[in-house]
Structure formats: C-alpha cells, structure tokens
C-alpha cells in the first residue's frame, strides 16, 4: 500500500529522511510544513506547503497517511492538538529520529537528545538475555577452537613463512567498563619502523601477501576466540578500539562512552553494515550503528549478525564492497543555511537492508 508522507520541520534530519524515503517506490513525499524558509541550495528541494499555523489547512488538502516530526526546536512550536486529531483519524504520527533509525539501522547521534536514550526501554536488557548471550559465546568459542585447531596451525605456519615476525599479534584494546586487555590476531602486517597509525587506510603498504587474504576473509580474527573464553569479549558486540584512540573518540564522538556498557565482540552490527574506518568521521558513522545495536540488541539480532559475518568469511567480501562505488562518485560537501545557522552537508555512504545507497547525507555544524 502506498504512503503519503508529510514532514513537520525543515531540518537537516528532514533532508536525510527524504533521501531515504525517495528510494522507496511505495512512498509519496507530500512536502514539509515549517515556519522556516526552505533554502533553494539544498540537494533535495523541499516542497514547503506552509507554516505551522497552516498545518490544519495542509492536512485537509493533502490527506497524509503519515506525519514525521523533524522540528529542531519543539517547545512552544509543536501543534499538539492538530497532531492528536490526526492520530484519532488514523494518521500515523512519529518522531523523525525513530523513522531514521528504522530506515537505516543506525542512530542519528548528532540530532539525538539525551532523553531519547534515558527513556528508551531498549537499553534495559534482562539478565536472562545477557546470560544466554554469554553462554552462547563461550560455547561457540570453545567448540570453534577445537574444530578449527588444524586450520589455525596452518594459518600460523603461513604467516611465519610469508614474512619475519611472530604468528600472533597482541594489541591493547578497551573493553567493557573501560578495562584494557590484549586482543589477539594473526599478524597481517610487517613491523612498522616508526609509531604506526591506527587507521586501516594508513597501513596498506605494510600488509603481507598472506595478510591480505586473511583480512579479506576475516580469518585473522580467529585467535580472538581465546579472548571470548577469557571473558574479555563476546562473539557479537561493538568492536573494541585501540587504547591509543580511546581518549580521542571519547571527546569527539557523541555518546561514545555508551559503548563501554557492553562487552565488545569479534563481530558486530557496524562490521556487517559498514567498512573499515580510516578517519574520525567514519568512526563516528560506525558509532551510529554501534549505538543502534546497544539499543536493540537481542538474541535474534546477534544471530543475524553472525549469519552476515559467515557470508563474509565464505564469500570474502563485506560492506566495503557495497560502498566502494560511493567513494568514487561521492559529491563534494556544501554549506547551506537553515534557520539562520550554517551547516556543512557531507555525503556519506550507508547500507540499508536489501540495497546500497550512495546518496545518503550527513550533517555537520559549520
């Protein structure tokens, strides 16, 4: 069934939602209602149907089936009575943040008020769920180590024969509660002569021949089964970041400290939906997925992530393949003005269920 969507508020979030909704043929975007003048420089022309005072007329003329509220400041501006009447007539009224979350599988952390998390029922997980998740992780790690022991021995031998150095690489990472631990991986790079960068893109020239294949099929991560057995990680969860980047991320990425509320994982929602991060902006993008996972984590979601990870291991490709075209075709950032405030409009790849989107936009205050 087709949907007639009306947006209440000409905010950056509204523009993002329009880009997402336009990819769905069953959705007709009627336009936006807001007191602000919609700038003509936006990549998506918003059809302004009137001001907030005109909402009654717009509802009568346009007959929307869904209203998405994307106002940046709502106190004293939200036409509650008219929205309530629309609800009683069967019109769906929903918050723009919830819509964005549902469409993209991530959270819009720049527009996310703390109250959205404080009052979120999804952040409260039962001890039963945590116990089942932990028990499943330990069981799979133990069985996996025994079953994969011959493969692990072969990989270790290939790593040592391919380049000088040990088979295993231990790196300081940050786990649950900010605790430090040593994460184990098969070594995929030659030793750096100077202090190495933690960004994957800065170390491409150090990757060995064997390491290239191990990283492609994620086989270099297998020794982390030991980290799972030691209680430092689970099978599924946000990936633990290097200690050297922890302070930077803590001060620059909104809600980054929330990651420490759960055990990190060998694989995660951000890993199957995005690629390796090579700068702070891309780490912020991955944080959107991590926060979505923390809010919605369940046994079903964990199993889905494990299934997606298995595809990577068997087929040798991941979200990076789906977004590579977006990297070469991505248009430049532009500065626009909304409500007399300057914003920088930056394109960023995102991956939706069932398709790859090369036209998603993220916003930064200029």
pLDDT in tens, the chain (366 residues): 689 999 998 888 888 898 889 888 899 999 899 887 665 545 556 688 888 899 999 999 999 999 999 987 776 678 899 999 999 999 999 999 999 999 999 998 888 888 778 877 667 778 888 899 899 999 999 999 999 999 999 999 999 999 999 999 999 999 999 999 999 999 998 876 666 655 655 566 788 999 999 988 889 999 999 999 999 999 999 999 999 889 999 999 999 999 998 999 999 999 999 888 888 899 999 999 999 999 998 899 999 999 999 888 888 755 444 443 344 333 333 333 333 344 444 444 333 333 333 333 333 333
Same-domain status, 172 and 70 = no
191 touches 177 (CB < 8 A): no
| 364 within domain boundaries | no
Domain with 61 in it: what CATH number?
3.40.50.20
Same-domain status, 52 and 153 = no
Phi, psi angle pair for 146, to nearest 5°: -70, -45
Q: How many residues does the chain have?
A: 366
Same-domain status, 100 and 131 = no
Same-domain status, 100 and 200 = no
Distance from C-alpha of 362 to C-alpha of 354, rounded to nearest angstrom: 21
Domain that holds residue 47: 3-104
């Amino acid at each position: 069934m087709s949907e007639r969507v009306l947006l209440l508020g000409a905010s950056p979030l509204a523009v993002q939602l329009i880009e997402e909704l336009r990819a769905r043929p069953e959705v007709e975007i009627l336009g936006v209602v807001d007191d602000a003048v919609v700038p003509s420089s936006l990549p998506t022309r918003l059809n302004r149907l009137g001001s907030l005072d005109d909402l009654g007329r717009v509802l009568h003329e346009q007959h929307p089936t869904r209203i998405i509220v994307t106002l940046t400041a709502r106190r004293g501006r939200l036409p509650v009575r008219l929205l309530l009447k629309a609800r009683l007539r069967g019109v769906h009224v929903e918050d723009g943040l919830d819509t964005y979350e549902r469409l993209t599988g991530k959270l819009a952390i720049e527009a996310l008020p703390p109250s959205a998390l404080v009052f979120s029922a999804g952040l409260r997980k039962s001890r039963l769920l945590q116990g089942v998740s932990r028990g499943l992780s330990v069981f799979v790690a133990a069985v996996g180590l025994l079953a994969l022991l011959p493969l692990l021995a072969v990989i270790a031998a290939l790593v040592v024969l391919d380049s000088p150095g040990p088979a295993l690489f231990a790196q300081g990472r940050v786990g649950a509660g900010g605790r430090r631990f040593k994460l184990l991986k098969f070594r995929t790079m030659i030793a750096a002569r100077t202090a190495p960068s933690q960004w994957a893109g800065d170390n491409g020239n150090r990757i060995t021949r064997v390491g290239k294949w191990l990283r492609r099929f994620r086989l270099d991560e297998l020794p982390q089964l030991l980290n799972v057995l030691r209680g430092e990680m689970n099978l599924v969860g946000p990936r633990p970041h290097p200690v050297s980047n922890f302070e930077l991320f803590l001060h620059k990425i909104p809600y980054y400290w929330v990651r420490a509320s759960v055990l990190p994982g060998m694989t995660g929602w951000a890993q199957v939906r995005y690629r390796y991060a090579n700068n702070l902006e891309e780490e912020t993008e991955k944080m959107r997925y991590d926060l979505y996972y923390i809010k919605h984590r369940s046994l079903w979601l964990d199993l889905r992530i494990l299934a997606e990870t298995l595809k990577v291991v068997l087929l040798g490709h991941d979200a990076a393949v789906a977004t590579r075209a977006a990297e070469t075709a991505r248009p430049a950032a532009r500065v626009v003005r909304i409500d007399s405030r300057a914003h920088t409009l930056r394109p960023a790849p995102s991956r939706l269920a069932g398709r790859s989107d090369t036209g998603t936009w993220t916003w930064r205050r200029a």
